Protein backbone atom coordinates (compact mmCIF):
# COMPACT_ATOMS: atom_id res chain seq x y z
CA UNK A 1 0.00 0.00 0.00
CA UNK A 2 1.41 3.40 -0.92
CA UNK A 3 2.13 5.71 2.01
CA UNK A 4 -0.65 8.23 2.50
CA UNK A 5 0.00 11.88 3.27
CA UNK A 6 -0.63 13.15 6.78
CA UNK A 7 -3.54 15.31 5.66
CA UNK A 8 -5.21 12.27 4.08
CA UNK A 9 -4.48 10.26 7.25
CA UNK A 10 -6.00 13.03 9.41
CA UNK A 11 -9.12 13.24 7.22
CA UNK A 12 -9.52 9.45 7.35
CA UNK A 13 -9.44 9.52 11.16
CA UNK A 14 -11.92 12.42 11.28
CA UNK A 15 -14.23 10.59 8.88
CA UNK A 16 -14.10 7.43 11.04
CA UNK A 17 -14.93 9.49 14.16
CA UNK A 18 -17.94 11.07 12.43
CA UNK A 19 -19.24 7.61 11.48
CA UNK A 20 -18.68 6.35 15.05
CA UNK A 21 -20.46 9.31 16.65
CA UNK A 22 -23.28 9.35 14.07
CA UNK A 23 -24.03 5.62 14.40
CA UNK A 24 -23.94 5.88 18.21
CA UNK A 25 -26.59 8.62 18.14
CA UNK A 26 -28.74 6.69 15.63
CA UNK A 27 -28.68 3.47 17.69
CA UNK A 28 -29.40 5.32 20.96
CA UNK A 29 -32.33 7.23 19.45
CA UNK A 30 -33.71 4.02 17.88
CA UNK A 31 -33.56 2.23 21.26
CA UNK A 32 -35.17 5.15 23.13
CA UNK A 33 -38.23 5.12 20.88
CA UNK A 34 -39.53 2.25 23.02
CA UNK A 35 -40.59 3.22 26.56
CA UNK A 36 -38.73 1.72 29.56
CA UNK A 37 -40.10 -1.62 30.70
CA UNK A 38 -41.12 -2.61 27.17
CA UNK A 39 -39.16 -4.51 24.56
CA UNK A 40 -37.51 -2.49 21.82
CA UNK A 41 -38.66 -3.08 18.26
CA UNK A 42 -36.86 -5.67 16.18
CA UNK A 43 -35.84 -2.86 13.81
CA UNK A 44 -34.00 -0.97 16.57
CA UNK A 45 -32.32 -4.22 17.66
CA UNK A 46 -31.05 -4.77 14.11
CA UNK A 47 -29.97 -1.10 13.89
CA UNK A 48 -28.01 -1.45 17.16
CA UNK A 49 -26.24 -4.63 16.05
CA UNK A 50 -25.44 -3.45 12.51
CA UNK A 51 -24.18 -0.12 13.94
CA UNK A 52 -22.05 -2.05 16.45
CA UNK A 53 -20.45 -4.12 13.67
CA UNK A 54 -19.76 -1.07 11.47
CA UNK A 55 -18.33 0.88 14.42
CA UNK A 56 -16.08 -2.03 15.43
CA UNK A 57 -14.81 -2.21 11.84
CA UNK A 58 -14.11 1.54 11.83
CA UNK A 59 -11.99 1.22 14.99
CA UNK A 60 -10.18 -1.85 13.64
CA UNK A 61 -9.56 -0.46 10.15
CA UNK A 62 -8.76 3.18 10.89
CA UNK A 63 -7.70 3.55 14.53
CA UNK A 64 -5.87 0.19 14.70
CA UNK A 65 -4.96 0.23 10.98
CA UNK A 66 -6.11 -3.36 10.39
CA UNK A 67 -6.91 -2.34 6.79
CA UNK A 68 -3.16 -2.74 6.15
CA UNK A 69 -3.27 -6.43 7.14
CA UNK A 70 -4.05 -9.34 4.82
CA UNK A 71 -7.49 -10.69 4.00
CA UNK A 72 -7.02 -13.61 6.41
CA UNK A 73 -6.81 -11.25 9.39
CA UNK A 74 -9.70 -9.18 8.09
CA UNK A 75 -11.76 -12.35 7.82
CA UNK A 76 -10.77 -13.54 11.29
CA UNK A 77 -11.90 -10.30 12.95
CA UNK A 78 -15.07 -10.17 10.83
CA UNK A 79 -15.80 -13.76 11.80
CA UNK A 80 -15.20 -13.09 15.49
CA UNK A 81 -17.43 -10.01 15.53
CA UNK A 82 -20.19 -11.69 13.52
CA UNK A 83 -20.06 -14.80 15.73
CA UNK A 84 -20.49 -12.79 18.95
CA UNK A 85 -23.14 -10.42 17.58
CA UNK A 86 -24.94 -13.17 15.62
CA UNK A 87 -25.03 -15.56 18.60
CA UNK A 88 -26.40 -12.81 20.84
CA UNK A 89 -29.05 -11.94 18.21
CA UNK A 90 -30.04 -15.61 17.87
CA UNK A 91 -30.37 -15.95 21.66
CA UNK A 92 -32.33 -12.68 21.81
CA UNK A 93 -34.79 -13.96 19.17
CA UNK A 94 -35.09 -17.30 20.97
CA UNK A 95 -35.86 -15.45 24.23
CA UNK A 96 -38.65 -13.51 22.46
CA UNK A 97 -40.41 -16.73 21.54
CA UNK A 98 -40.44 -18.05 25.13
CA UNK B 1 4.28 -1.96 9.17
CA UNK B 2 6.49 -1.27 12.15
CA UNK B 3 9.91 -2.86 12.23
CA UNK B 4 9.18 -4.94 15.32
CA UNK B 5 6.47 -6.76 13.43
CA UNK B 6 8.85 -8.16 10.85
CA UNK B 7 10.61 -11.46 11.20
CA UNK B 8 9.93 -14.21 13.72
CA UNK B 9 6.25 -13.45 14.26
CA UNK B 10 4.83 -15.59 11.45
CA UNK B 11 1.36 -14.52 10.38
CA UNK B 12 1.35 -11.84 13.11
CA UNK B 13 3.99 -9.97 11.08
CA UNK B 14 1.22 -8.90 8.69
CA UNK B 15 -0.44 -6.86 11.44
CA UNK B 16 0.43 -3.18 12.00
CA UNK B 17 2.18 -2.23 15.25
CA UNK B 18 3.31 -4.57 18.04
CA UNK B 19 2.26 -8.21 17.33
CA UNK B 20 1.85 -8.99 21.05
CA UNK B 21 -0.74 -6.22 21.33
CA UNK B 22 -2.79 -8.02 18.66
CA UNK B 23 -2.57 -11.25 20.68
CA UNK B 24 -3.96 -9.28 23.62
CA UNK B 25 -6.70 -7.69 21.46
CA UNK B 26 -7.81 -11.11 20.18
CA UNK B 27 -7.71 -12.57 23.72
CA UNK B 28 -9.77 -9.72 25.15
CA UNK B 29 -12.34 -9.96 22.35
CA UNK B 30 -12.71 -13.68 23.07
CA UNK B 31 -13.08 -13.13 26.84
CA UNK B 32 -15.61 -10.31 26.51
CA UNK B 33 -17.34 -12.17 23.66
CA UNK B 34 -17.83 -15.19 25.96
CA UNK B 35 -19.14 -12.93 28.76
CA UNK B 36 -21.63 -11.27 26.39
CA UNK B 37 -22.83 -14.59 24.98
CA UNK B 38 -23.29 -15.69 28.61
CA UNK B 39 -25.34 -12.54 29.17
CA UNK B 40 -27.52 -13.42 26.14
CA UNK B 41 -27.95 -16.98 27.47
CA UNK B 42 -29.20 -15.60 30.81
CA UNK B 43 -31.75 -13.53 28.82
CA UNK B 44 -32.94 -16.75 27.17
CA UNK B 45 -33.35 -18.45 30.56
CA UNK B 46 -34.82 -15.47 32.44
CA UNK B 47 -36.27 -13.00 29.87
CA UNK B 48 -38.43 -11.06 32.36
CA UNK B 49 -35.59 -10.65 34.87
CA UNK B 50 -33.27 -9.29 32.15
CA UNK B 51 -35.98 -6.97 30.76
CA UNK B 52 -36.60 -5.57 34.25
CA UNK B 53 -32.87 -5.08 34.82
CA UNK B 54 -32.25 -3.43 31.46
CA UNK B 55 -35.20 -1.10 32.00
CA UNK B 56 -33.35 0.31 35.02
CA UNK B 57 -30.27 1.11 32.90
CA UNK B 58 -29.78 4.60 31.50
CA UNK B 59 -29.44 4.45 27.71
CA UNK B 60 -28.50 8.19 27.50
CA UNK B 61 -25.64 7.68 30.00
CA UNK B 62 -24.46 4.58 28.12
CA UNK B 63 -24.67 6.54 24.85
CA UNK B 64 -22.77 9.45 26.39
CA UNK B 65 -20.01 7.09 27.51
CA UNK B 66 -19.86 5.63 23.99
CA UNK B 67 -19.39 9.11 22.52
CA UNK B 68 -16.73 9.84 25.15
CA UNK B 69 -14.77 6.67 24.34
CA UNK B 70 -14.91 7.00 20.54
CA UNK B 71 -13.78 10.63 20.82
CA UNK B 72 -10.98 9.55 23.14
CA UNK B 73 -9.92 6.86 20.64
CA UNK B 74 -9.98 9.43 17.83
CA UNK B 75 -7.66 11.72 19.86
CA UNK B 76 -5.30 8.80 20.58
CA UNK B 77 -5.18 7.94 16.86
CA UNK B 78 -4.31 11.57 16.07
CA UNK B 79 -1.62 11.47 18.78
CA UNK B 80 0.07 8.59 16.94
CA UNK B 81 -0.23 10.42 13.62
CA UNK B 82 1.26 13.63 15.01
CA UNK B 83 4.12 11.76 16.71
CA UNK B 84 5.05 10.24 13.36
CA UNK B 85 5.41 13.77 11.94
CA UNK B 86 7.68 14.73 14.85
CA UNK B 87 5.08 16.99 16.49
CA UNK B 88 5.70 15.75 20.03
CA UNK B 89 3.81 18.59 21.74
CA UNK B 90 0.71 18.15 19.59
CA UNK B 91 0.87 14.41 20.13
CA UNK B 92 1.11 14.78 23.91
CA UNK B 93 -1.82 17.23 24.01
CA UNK B 94 -4.07 14.79 22.12
CA UNK B 95 -2.95 11.91 24.31
CA UNK B 96 -3.72 13.99 27.42
CA UNK B 97 -7.15 14.70 25.94
CA UNK B 98 -7.67 10.98 25.33
CA UNK B 99 -6.73 10.20 28.95
CA UNK B 100 -8.96 12.99 30.29
CA UNK B 101 -11.90 11.56 28.36
CA UNK B 102 -11.06 8.15 29.82
CA UNK B 103 -11.41 9.71 33.26
CA UNK B 104 -14.71 11.28 32.17
CA UNK B 105 -15.91 7.79 31.17
CA UNK B 106 -15.09 6.53 34.67
CA UNK B 107 -16.88 9.48 36.30
CA UNK B 108 -20.05 8.74 34.27
CA UNK B 109 -19.72 5.04 35.10
CA UNK B 110 -19.26 5.87 38.80
CA UNK B 111 -22.36 8.08 38.70
CA UNK B 112 -24.30 5.22 37.08
CA UNK B 113 -23.12 2.69 39.70
CA UNK B 114 -23.96 5.11 42.54
CA UNK B 115 -27.43 5.66 41.10
CA UNK B 116 -28.05 1.91 40.91
CA UNK B 117 -26.70 1.38 44.43
CA UNK B 118 -29.07 4.09 45.71
CA UNK B 119 -31.93 2.09 44.17
CA UNK B 120 -30.73 -1.03 46.00
CA UNK B 121 -29.51 -2.67 42.79
CA UNK B 122 -26.26 -4.38 43.75
CA UNK B 123 -24.12 -7.23 42.46
CA UNK B 124 -26.14 -9.77 44.48
CA UNK B 125 -29.61 -8.49 43.50
CA UNK B 126 -30.05 -11.14 40.79
CA UNK B 127 -28.12 -12.78 37.93
CA UNK B 128 -28.69 -9.79 35.62
CA UNK B 129 -27.03 -7.37 38.03
CA UNK B 130 -24.22 -9.81 38.80
CA UNK B 131 -23.42 -10.03 35.08
CA UNK B 132 -23.92 -6.28 34.59
CA UNK B 133 -21.43 -5.34 37.31
CA UNK B 134 -19.02 -8.11 36.32
CA UNK B 135 -18.96 -7.19 32.61
CA UNK B 136 -18.98 -3.40 32.91
CA UNK B 137 -16.68 -3.47 35.97
CA UNK B 138 -14.15 -5.65 34.15
CA UNK B 139 -14.29 -3.20 31.24
CA UNK B 140 -13.90 -0.21 33.59
CA UNK B 141 -10.79 -1.88 35.05
CA UNK B 142 -9.39 -1.96 31.50
CA UNK B 143 -10.18 1.76 31.17
CA UNK B 144 -8.18 2.44 34.36
CA UNK B 145 -5.26 0.39 33.01
CA UNK B 146 -5.58 2.15 29.63
CA UNK B 147 -5.31 5.60 31.24
CA UNK B 148 -2.15 4.48 33.07
CA UNK B 149 -0.70 3.12 29.82
CA UNK B 150 -1.55 6.36 27.96
CA UNK B 151 0.25 8.33 30.68
CA UNK B 152 3.34 6.10 30.41
CA UNK B 153 3.55 6.28 26.59
CA UNK B 154 2.90 10.03 26.74
CA UNK B 155 5.98 10.29 28.93
CA UNK B 156 8.18 7.76 27.05
CA UNK B 157 6.74 8.77 23.74
CA UNK B 158 8.61 6.98 20.99
CA UNK B 159 6.41 6.27 17.97
CA UNK B 160 6.47 2.55 18.76
CA UNK B 161 5.47 3.08 22.41
CA UNK B 162 2.69 5.41 21.34
CA UNK B 163 1.38 2.96 18.74
CA UNK B 164 1.35 0.16 21.31
CA UNK B 165 -0.33 2.23 24.05
CA UNK B 166 -2.92 3.62 21.64
CA UNK B 167 -3.64 0.08 20.38
CA UNK B 168 -4.51 -0.98 23.95
CA UNK B 169 -6.80 2.05 24.22
CA UNK B 170 -8.53 1.23 20.92
CA UNK B 171 -9.08 -2.33 22.18
CA UNK B 172 -10.86 -0.89 25.25
CA UNK B 173 -12.96 1.26 22.87
CA UNK B 174 -13.68 -1.74 20.62
CA UNK B 175 -14.92 -3.90 23.52
CA UNK B 176 -17.30 -1.13 24.68
CA UNK B 177 -18.72 -0.76 21.15
CA UNK B 178 -19.85 -4.40 21.34
CA UNK B 179 -20.78 -4.39 25.03
CA UNK B 180 -22.97 -1.26 24.95
CA UNK B 181 -25.63 -2.44 22.46
CA UNK B 182 -25.78 -5.98 23.86
CA UNK B 183 -26.18 -4.89 27.48
CA UNK B 184 -28.06 -1.60 27.15
CA UNK B 185 -29.91 -1.55 23.82
CA UNK B 186 -31.15 -5.10 23.08
CA UNK B 187 -34.12 -4.95 25.43
- Between CA B33 and CA A88 the distance in angstroms is 10
- Between CA A86 and CA A75 the distance in angstroms is 15
Which residue has better confidence, A97 or A93? A93
Give the pLDDT score at B5: 44
Phi-psi region of B170 (alpha: psi -120 to 50; beta: other; left: phi over 0): alpha
Phi-psi region of A40 (alpha: psi -120 to 50; beta: other; left: phi over 0): beta
Residues B113-135: b if buried by 16+ CB within 10 A, e if exposed: beebeeeebeeebbebbebbbeb
- Between CA B67 and CA B82 the distance in angstroms is 22
- Between CA A34 and CA A22 the distance in angstroms is 20
A 1-60: CB under 8 A from B? 6, 9-10, 13-14, 16-17, 20-21, 24-25, 27-28, 31-32, 34, 36-40, 44-45, 48-49, 51-52, 55-56, 59-60
Domains of chain B: 29-185 (1.20.120.80)
First to last CA, chain B: 42
Q: What is the pTM of this model?
A: 0.94
When pLDDT is averaged across residues A22-46 and rounded to a whole number, the result is 92
Give the rounded percent of residues in chain A with a pLDDT score beyond 70.
97
* pLDDT bucket at A1, cuts 50 / 70 / 90: very low
* pLDDT bucket at B7, cuts 50 / 70 / 90: low
ipTM for this prediction: 0.94
When pLDDT is averaged across residues B34-58 and rounded to a whole number, the result is 95
CB count, 10 Å around CB of B77?
28
Amino acid sequence: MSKETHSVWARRLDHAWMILAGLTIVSVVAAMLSPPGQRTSLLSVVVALVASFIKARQVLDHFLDLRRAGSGWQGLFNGLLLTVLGTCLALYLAALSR
Amino acid sequence: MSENGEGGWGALSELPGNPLMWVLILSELLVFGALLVGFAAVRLLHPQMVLAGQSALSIPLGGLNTLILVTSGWLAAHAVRLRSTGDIGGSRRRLAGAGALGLAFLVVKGFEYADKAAQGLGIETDTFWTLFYLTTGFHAAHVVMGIIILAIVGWKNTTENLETGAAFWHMVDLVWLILFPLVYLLR
